[in-house]
Amino acid sequence: MMEPLPEYTRAFIALRNGQDKPEIWVAYQGKVYDVSRSKLWRAGKHYEHWAGQDLTEELKDAPHNENVFDKFKVIGILKS
């Protein structure tokens, strides 16, 4: 049986922005992803998007769909 994923607050995720700590995390549709290994998220920025936040609304304007998150590990749940 798998361990349940930890829940993270928006404030906790905000510190994982590639600036304050080495981790680069983003949230999408209630899931938290570690994008630290992605070259596209160097320094916590990907085009006009910043790490450490929920990107659910912003993805609507992106040139790609939600499948872009398939290559990243879900590390937690965004606490509401």
Pairing of strands 73-78, 7-8: parallel
Q: What is the pLDDT of residues 13-64, one digit of tens each?
A: 999 999 988 999 999 999 999 999 999 998 899 888 899 999 999 877 777 7
Q: How confident is the model at residue 8 (pLDDT cuts 50, 70, 90)?
A: very high
pLDDT, position 53:
95
CATH T-level assignment (fold) for domain 7-78: Flavocytochrome B2; Chain A, domain 1 (3.10.120)
SS3 content of the chain, % helix, strand, coil (to 5): 25, 30, 45
Q: Euclidean distance between the first and final Cα of the chain, in Å?
A: 25
Q: How confident is the model at residue 78 (pLDDT cuts 50, 70, 90)?
A: very high
Instruction: Write down the domain spans for the chain.
Output: 7-78
